Structure 1
């Protein structure tokens, strides 16, 4: 039978109830797609053609794919059965109906197309998926032919942002406005997956209007409900819809409380007049200090973006900050950022802060309480496949006021608590350039580094132990380092890696502190050639319970002695820790101001175990030996500290300051089942006493997760004896520093957790910090209440005491897609 015979009304009477009035098309389950031509014929093209009877399938399919008004009209429809009613002028698809058209997908138990009204009515668990990914569920969905407008009963819309709108009925207009009568909005993902489960919170309104073009949701007569209980009522308000990242309107309010500020409430307002400009106004009303103004302007350009933020206040009660730099009427700060692309490889920008006083940001809780300084920088960077360029200017502003500590013998102030701002350097500029030559050179890799640093400092930065971190005056250095290395593997698996290097430095030092006699003033040059070879021989043993990899490692590095040891400023190589991570580094210093000299042999052994059940164990141990030359890590003039001569003590007590270094070890264990353990340690080369140790363990077992960190550093005995007998030490120098820090999180129920942490000074037997809190989390709401204490160690002329510096109560909450907030209150300030 031809398709035109199957779709024709044989009798022509139009009686809907008789067999002569209807013809049914039955498609077997394996052949539903075969009914596509007939179904599309009846569902789409009958209205356009105004057919009273049958049309040849080839003509209808031609019309179906033919452009209409400049656009191709294409639809896919699939169902178990199609019924064509000539009298009512309808076409009905019955059973597992699926229609796809113009990015929309409509599924239902029954779909009826009304030729006269040009509407499609889906019934029985109807579901409409929009092109944006939103899902509309309803018992009945009545939409226009092009799926733009319609009326829906028993409606639920699940958005791509995992939120839901639902209502008893809704009306869709102009293809982008949906009006929900007695609507409910929630951001509960479990409610989307489990429709019968009530949401934790929801907004119930007499009317919810969702304008997709404006990307705004309007609520009329709205109530915020938690667990079905109304807790707040608003007659009218609007929010950006869940798809919006930026839209004009009020943001979530913020709250704070402290004894110096009083109670405060912040009401931020976000204004986005165009797609590339926005302004955030966030004034905070403080009961004790007045109004804290806060405005931020942001602009995005074709090549980048910039922002400026101004924060300021005229304090009603400056005396609340008596004794600090905050005891003034006007206080404020300026923040500005910018970043612009020059091309695909190059960009430039800035990140700057200007403060009225050092304590402003901390006093008004504009930065985390553990921040110590603000860094301002202007930069330009370039990145290529094998090279990198970075140029920056730095300025530092400390958050700590000057303080005075007095000598034990005559009560005169020591210099290191004063002029903290003047001790910070102005770095203008620091330039770094790294490259790797693209082609092999003598079969190996050629790479290079370049650094230029110029800085100035008004006051010498020196601590209570007379260690100098930076000398006053002007300091400039230019360094270039070129290295070559090549790897050879012989027939039995031995790996030989010879390497060559040439380092050149030019220094200009102009010290302005006459008391720092060790600093040479003038221009100097330093050359450091390096020749070395590294040997590795990994071999594998396979067993029934895993694979074992054994790898002895040996490295020989030959070079001349370092020049000007202890006679030039050291700005960028002060941080030095000797462990397995740098055991085989040819130059173990962290920066360019120092260059490791002399001839060394670095020896070690690595063992790796890979169990058959997953996970890994890695163990590395080794030692370094000074074979010839002067040790760069031993200060030959350290005893001059007794003669009131401050010294930069980089490397002293590191374990490399003797001809035979301390032993360094590390172990890393990953069970592959939620537990990880890592440890590094340094043992004395003679007594095997523990000189330094760091241990960290993290794990999860059922509802319990946590971490434990242990750190230990023993003061070198000679250094301990030396400093404890100088008149500059306030109290006895600790023979060691030892600390334990832990954090735990216990999931007590599906949504409830108990968390806490402690930081304990083992050597001095006191708790530095402790935190205890309770949290609630689900997929739409989170809240936590935490209490924390901080304790400082106070050194005075007569005793070593503990001072409880702060007690703070924190409350944080968040409604997903709506906003979040936090309240903190210092119980001591």
Structure 2
């Protein structure tokens, strides 16, 4: 340990202080809000301490004017030159009071300033000679009254002073101003005011405030990186102190304002001693120690540097990375990795906030194993004890450890009071499991388990749950799931997702109202993928299980056992030529319908001519499809059906730009016309069953499809041309696009006779006229609107208008309206544009629906959030929730009430007799500790468009 010593000389400081007091010759006083005065003495050097007296409110006949005597004490060390300055005759009152009262009632005796501190001098083999140092002022343990002088103004007409001294005379040193904070009767502060002041001091030891932006969960949190141990070992240690001495070159003692620095380490103390032989250091009195991620204050600190051992009494500490702070009567550091705490407490709340505190009589932390434990631990929230445990173990870093997880609970009409208490089992570094006992008031006990694994090639999970006796249905119910992702080689991977439930209403009954099943079918899939440049091959199976009691067996989709895709493509660098071939083999299986093996081959060639000014892409495709049919449900139907169709398309477009100005603001205006021609000869396909095909919904981009059907069971007959165009205005200074307009329509040269079963031929000469409008007005405000005009019906068939405001993460607001007129070609499902959630509806159902969602600040850190969907067709609410949320630096609270109609139990959610369900959910998260209640992040992310969980904003 290398030490460099600096001796502090205070003569110049003392001389400057005396000169200032001589010129001012007055009290330096400040008046607090309650009318009390606090005065700091600015008197002369080497004077006797002042002896203020209580000044009466009656005027005496005259004021006394005692003289000031000045003495210069002899020094025991080497002489230091001093300068004599004339002293004032008396200490004057403040200037305003002196002007109004020429003759004071009584004068105060002169006050001496803090004596000059000595310097330490010593010669070789000689003990240093040291003058007595003034005792360092220490903050009082209790602050019912602050130490020092407190003066109150007297009678307004007399302008008198009423001064009192609490504790020792500060002798001119600055003292803390009285703290006027008051506690609430329902919150008893565990940390007193002096401890909170110490925490504020420790907070200032870090270059970056550990609680910076802590109340904003979306703010980026910069981690504080540690200093390498080698940097500390190679760094010199600098020590500043008022006094220092060395005994035989082995023991170094420092006293008076000890300030030690080495690399990132910083130590302040009244006294410190270092034994270079034993490599130990002791520090006493107002000790403050800090390093890169830790700062602590204590009465005494004993360090054994070579053994990395320490003992710290009456400690207060801040861990910056968490961040959290706490106290301990005694802290023991047994090694680099093992530490113990007696009568400890900690919280993640910043200094000044004690909303929650965890207490324990004994705490052990082992950073080598990543485990910690506590005895007699209890948690208080807002001063109220809420949880106690005689023993608890917990992780101290990101490594996993077995133990209890935070319980969840809710209350719903379907299950009553619902509580689950998960237990985490850390089996191995790459294996773990969560076992969750669950109790539902109306149904009984359930057991759920989930096993996870991770290997060099695979990762996945295996889950199962069972309800032995459902008291509402008088039967056992269960489910199982298996998920796996495996990478065999760089080019070969597999994805497996297997699921099974005991009955169709399982998810509807077992899920709570935050996560009920939105899909009508439970998929089971397993696929193998092989990919190389210009080649992609995949093969696998699809199976579906109904989880909607309204679906009959005949309405179930086909199982795919299996499906194989082989896609080939190649682009030539030296010529505008692209070759491709899409091949697919599928085996469709259904117990009640006709089965088939389908083979589809679709080679194509295109000649792409593209530049920045425009493009022209002609393309020719030959599509061959063959069906081998079995399990025919209709007599005299062929067992083999083939179809070959040539497809020709030509897509072309251009882009024009020019610079324009509106109100002295520059914009780039673009005009992008586009033509798309498609020809497919007509071929009767009515003898081909429907296995996986449906009609696409119409929008602007569907104007450029080669087939208006999804799947391969129908290929449309077409002789048509699409005329479309897009125009944009782009703000040249900001890059925003305040206006984008897209218009388009298809013109048919023949009737369309290839349709799905039950759909009549289409004889119109034009498609719907489609228009879409969108733009970003500001960085936070945007809009989208669209409409489709049906020329045959002479009315709108589609309509959409959405206004979005985003000021992440605090301010989110959406309001929209959606209209869809029933037509024979309508799909049985649609995607809500506000939240991208797929919703099932009856075929031909007209929809006229509004949707409003928001998250908005209210007051005092509270936020309101909610959503409301309303159907104008039936004059009823189909989905709504409302809630409040508050977050500060140490906790977050959410309360949500939901009213909804469950489509899994209601054939038509818009029917007049559809009954809504109600549910209430509460979540309390103590930052840095745990959370209680339902996890609503996923629910809000799915149902509140624009909402992002806190993990979204993490680095």
Normalized against structure 1, the TM-score is what?
Answer: 0.74
Q: 1:484 to 1:199 in 2, by over 3 A?
A: farther
Contact 1:280-1:297 within 8 A present in 2 as well: yes
Contact 1:566-1:648 within 8 A present in 2 as well: no
Cross-structure match for 1:356 = 502
Superposed displacement of residue 248, structure 1: 0.8
In structure 1, the residue corresponding to 2:549 is in which secondary structure? Answer: coil
Cross-structure match for 1:532 = 650
In structure 1, the residue corresponding to 2:592 is in which secondary structure? Answer: coil
Q: In structure 1, how many angstroms separate the alpha carbons of the residues matched to 2:127 and 2:682? A: 107
For 1:312-331, what aligned pairs fall within 5 Å after superposition?
Answer: 312-315=466-469, 317=471, 320-321=472-473, 328-331=474-477
Residue in structure 1 matching 2:665, options 545, 566, 570: 545
Cross-structure match for 1:764 = 874
Structure 2 residue ranges without an equivalent (≥5)? 8-120, 132-228, 828-841, 936-955
The C-alpha deviation readout for 1:190-247, integer Å capped at 9, x for no partner, is x1xxxx2224322122222222123223222222111233223322222222x23521
Superposed displacement of residue 512, structure 1: 4.5
Residue in structure 2 matching 1:813, options 924, 930, 935: 924
Superposed displacement of residue 553, structure 1: 1.8
In structure 2, the residue corresponding to 1:581 is in which secondary structure? Answer: helix
Cross-structure match for 1:397 = 545
Cross-structure match for 1:13 = 125
Superposed displacement of residue 805, structure 1: 3.5
Contact 1:507-1:524 within 8 A present in 2 as well: yes
Question: Are 2:339 and 1:339 equivalent residues in the alignment?
Answer: no
Q: State which drifts further: 480-489 or 539-548.
A: 480-489
Contact 1:520-1:568 within 8 A present in 2 as well: no
Contact 2:741-2:774 within 8 A present in 1 as well: no
Cross-structure match for 1:170 = 331
Residue in structure 2 matching 1:207, options 355, 362, 387: 362
In structure 2, the residue corresponding to 1:763 is in which secondary structure? Answer: coil
Q: In structure 2, how many angstroms separate the alpha carbons of the residues matched to 1:624 and 1:272? A: 61
Question: Are 2:454 and 1:295 equivalent residues in the alignment?
Answer: no
Q: In structure 2, how many angstroms separate the alpha carbons of the residues matched to 1:257 and 1:509? A: 54
Superposed displacement of residue 734, structure 1: 7.1
Q: State which drifts further: 278-287 or 113-122.
A: 113-122
Cross-structure match for 2:812 = 705
Superposed displacement of residue 72, structure 1: 11
Superposed displacement of residue 293, structure 1: 1.9
In structure 2, the residue corresponding to 1:282 is in which secondary structure? Answer: strand
Question: Are 2:521 and 1:373 equivalent residues in the alignment?
Answer: yes
Q: 1:593 to 1:781 in 2, by over 3 A?
A: farther
Q: 1:554 to 1:277 in 2, by over 3 A?
A: closer
Q: 1:282 to 1:304 in 2, by over 3 A?
A: same
In structure 1, the residue corresponding to 2:507 is in which secondary structure? Answer: helix
Q: In structure 1, how many angstroms separate the alpha carbons of the residues matched to 2:291 and 2:5? A: 33
For 1:197-596, what aligned pairs fall within 5 Å after superposition?
Answer: 197-241=352-396, 243-244=397-398, 246-258=400-412, 261-315=415-469, 317=471, 320-321=472-473, 328-365=474-511, 368-384=516-532, 388-402=536-550, 418-419=552-553, 423-434=556-567, 436-437=569-570, 439-440=572-573, 442-459=575-592, 472-489=594-611, 494-508=613-627, 510=629, 512=631, 514=633, 521-543=639-661, 544-596=664-716
Cross-structure match for 1:723 = none
Contact 2:529-2:538 within 8 A present in 1 as well: yes
Cross-structure match for 2:729 = 609
Question: Are 2:744 and 1:623 equivalent residues in the alignment?
Answer: yes
In structure 1, the residue corresponding to 2:912 is in which secondary structure? Answer: strand
Question: Are 2:280 and 1:119 equivalent residues in the alignment?
Answer: yes
Superposed displacement of residue 527, structure 1: 3.1
Q: In structure 1, how many angstroms separate the alpha carbons of the residues matched to 2:4 and 2:482? A: 73
Q: In structure 2, how many angstroms separate the alpha carbons of the residues matched to 1:142 and 1:478? A: 81
Give RMSD over aligned pairs.
4.1
Superposed displacement of residue 13, structure 1: 0.5
Q: 1:109 to 1:813 in 2, by over 3 A?
A: closer
Q: In structure 1, how many angstroms separate the alpha carbons of the residues matched to 2:789 and 2:744? A: 10
In structure 2, the residue corresponding to 1:807 is in which secondary structure? Answer: strand
Q: In structure 1, how many angstroms separate the alpha carbons of the residues matched to 2:586 and 2:364? A: 60
Q: In structure 1, how many angstroms separate the alpha carbons of the residues matched to 2:881 and 2:602? A: 48
In structure 2, the residue corresponding to 1:400 is in which secondary structure? Answer: coil
Q: In structure 2, how many angstroms separate the alpha carbons of the residues matched to 1:565 and 1:473? A: 17
Cross-structure match for 2:344 = 183
In structure 2, the residue corresponding to 1:616 is in which secondary structure? Answer: coil
Q: 1:734 to 1:276 in 2, by over 3 A?
A: closer
Q: In structure 1, how many angstroms separate the alpha carbons of the residues matched to 2:122 and 2:820? A: 99
Q: 1:262 to 1:96 in 2, by over 3 A?
A: same
Superposed displacement of residue 350, structure 1: 1.6
In structure 1, the residue corresponding to 2:508 is in which secondary structure? Answer: helix
Q: 1:124 to 1:535 in 2, by over 3 A?
A: same
Cross-structure match for 2:305 = 145
Superposed displacement of residue 550, structure 1: 2.1
Superposed displacement of residue 616, structure 1: 1.4
Q: 1:374 to 1:686 in 2, by over 3 A?
A: closer
Superposed displacement of residue 697, structure 1: 2.2
The C-alpha deviation readout for 1:291-343, integer Å capped at 9, x for no partner, is 212222233222113432221122162xx23xxxxxx5222111112222102
Contact 1:210-1:217 within 8 A present in 2 as well: yes
In structure 2, the residue corresponding to 1:583 is in which secondary structure? Answer: helix
Contact 1:580-1:620 within 8 A present in 2 as well: no
Contact 1:792-1:802 within 8 A present in 2 as well: no
Normalized against structure 2, the TM-score is what?
Answer: 0.65
Q: 1:303 to 1:488 in 2, by over 3 A?
A: closer
Q: In structure 2, how many angstroms separate the alpha carbons of the residues matched to 1:575 and 1:660? A: 18
Q: 1:585 to 1:217 in 2, by over 3 A?
A: same
Q: 1:800 to 1:380 in 2, by over 3 A?
A: closer
Contact 1:617-1:667 within 8 A present in 2 as well: no
Q: 1:615 to 1:300 in 2, by over 3 A?
A: same
Contact 2:823-2:844 within 8 A present in 1 as well: no
Q: 1:807 to 1:11 in 2, by over 3 A?
A: closer
Superposed displacement of residue 275, structure 1: 1.1
Q: 1:302 to 1:776 in 2, by over 3 A?
A: same
The C-alpha deviation readout for 1:163-197, integer Å capped at 9, x for no partner, is 44443541111211222233222234xx1xxxx22
Cross-structure match for 1:128 = 291
Contact 2:430-2:453 within 8 A present in 1 as well: yes
Q: In structure 2, how many angstroms separate the alpha carbons of the residues matched to 1:648 and 1:373? A: 25
Cross-structure match for 2:784 = 678
Q: State which drifts further: 376-385 or 140-149.
A: 140-149
Q: 1:449 to 1:150 in 2, by over 3 A?
A: farther
Contact 2:595-2:629 within 8 A present in 1 as well: yes
Q: State which drifts further: 813-822 or 83-92.
A: 83-92
Q: In structure 1, how many angstroms separate the alpha carbons of the residues matched to 2:693 and 2:668? A: 38
In structure 1, the residue corresponding to 2:859 is in which secondary structure? Answer: coil
Contact 1:183-1:208 within 8 A present in 2 as well: yes
Q: In structure 2, how many angstroms separate the alpha carbons of the residues matched to 1:661 and 1:386? A: 37
Q: 1:141 to 1:507 in 2, by over 3 A?
A: farther
Q: State which drifts further: 146-155 or 424-433.
A: 146-155
**Count of residues paired in the alignment:** 692
The C-alpha deviation readout for 1:720-761, integer Å capped at 9, x for no partner, is 9xxxxxxxxxxx997832111111223213432222211111
Q: In structure 2, how many angstroms separate the alpha carbons of the residues matched to 1:740 and 1:790? A: 15
